[in-house]
Amino acid sequence: MNYKSKSSLVGFRSGSSSLSHYLVPAVVAVSAVVIGLVVGQGQWKLALAALGLPLVMLSPVPIGLGSYAVLIPFDSVAVLGQAEHGRTLTWFAGAAATVLLLGAGLVSRRYAVPPAAAKWWVLFTLWYALTTAWALSPQTAIQFLPTVFGLLVLYVASVCFRYRQNEFQLITFLTILGGIAAAIWTIHLFRQGSFYETGAETRASLIVDGRYANPDELAMTLLLPISLAFGHFLSLKRGLRKTCMLGAMLVITLGLLVTMSRAAVVALAIMLAVYLYRLRVGLRLMLPVALLSMLLLLMPSGFFLRFQQASESGGSGRFDIWTVGLAAFSHYGLIGAGLHNFPFAYTNYAGEAPHFKGIGRDAHNIYLAIAVETGVIGLLLFAGAVRSQMRTHFHARHVGEVNNLLIATEAATWGILVFGFFGTIIWDKSFWFSLMLMSAAGSLVQEPAASSPSREAR
């Protein structure tokens, strides 16, 4: 792939037009005037938008997708408008990132043929959407379709785009930054005594304007930033940046632990196991692993009590819910009960539970939800998509720094898939974003010439 442009402003070739020499200064000048006017009127939101415009013009793809990554941990609390009817900031960031990816890819001709995994995910998503036709509650399925197609379009736009190495690294840094911000705020609230639930379980959570993030979902969004920080730590030789990455990993992990999410702790262990398997046991791995283990000494007794009570509570009632889900699968197992319709299928068989847990319950298991909602066909498509996605890392063994980041995205994806045994995350932004980064890292490894600055300058 031959990139002729030296300019960091995507879409303008240095030899064909002098427009790029005037556009950036003009945008900066206009933004400065706008900032001065709106700050004088107390319009801080508009000031931030005007401040971010020059950055987007200079590096549209990494800033756009990176902003989306920063907001993912805050998805459930950063809402504009009324609770259930407002749009999240992540929604707007995702829409902007999609437009920027499509525009930059088409203008600068940096799009390539979709990888095999993308074709599997498209087939899986289309089948999932098709189940709307026979869903138990068609209205519920139709209302959820924009979320499904929004994630799919962003995923396809990202995996077809050919990132440069510096762009990919900036996106990973912003992902880590979002994890640090969410973890620090969560730890601060925990130390202040602001909990998700008062009483026996004092679990930490993000709390903004009376909105509470589910602790399990919050912890799951921190898995990818932890893994990326670990990958950067292993890639850097020494110095301040390496220390900063180690500190970031420890802070985000502590933020995960105070949520007291058992599923996230198991997923974190799986992530570390992937690192140990891929890179073998050595001193460079043992130091961060030992420091992560020492964080357990900071946890209150309630953290360990939750693990002791896991079998007694049936996984907080999950075992009873899964029993009902299996009964529903025996009836809807061929073509499914429809998109986002597990709660309705559950209601039909709620009496099958050993201990009645009510009606309209969530599956709390990504694989059971897919099986009931899409049947065997959807389950096989999902398995094919995951298998195809995971084959990417086999092509990265001979590459140094990028290989570590590829392992980081692979480890995070494995961790999230394990987390899926305890949560319905199939349409979670963090799940799809981990797939995007894994594909981007794989593309950089398989096409090193495309990311080489010396090749791009020719």
DSSP letters for 323-384: HHHHHHHHHHTTT-S-TT-HHHHHHHTGGGSSS---SS---S-HHHHHHHHHHHHHHHHHHH
Name the phi and psi angles at 52, rounded to 5: -80, -20
Q: What is the pLDDT of residues 119-145, one digit of tens each?
A: 999 999 999 999 999 999 999 999 999
Mean confidence (pLDDT) of the chain: 82
Residue 253 predicted with pLDDT over 90:
yes
Burial of 304-322, coded b for 16+ CB within 10 Å and e otherwise, reads eebeeeeeeebbbebbbbb
Q: What is the pLDDT of residues 189-230, one digit of tens each?
A: 998 888 876 555 688 888 887 788 899 999 999 999 999 999
Q: What is the pLDDT of residues 380-410, one digit of tens each?
A: 999 999 999 887 666 655 554 457 888 899 9
Q: Highest mean pLDDT: which of 2-6, 53-57, 189-193, 197-201?
A: 189-193
Reference 102, options 111, 112, 115, 93; nearest CA is 111
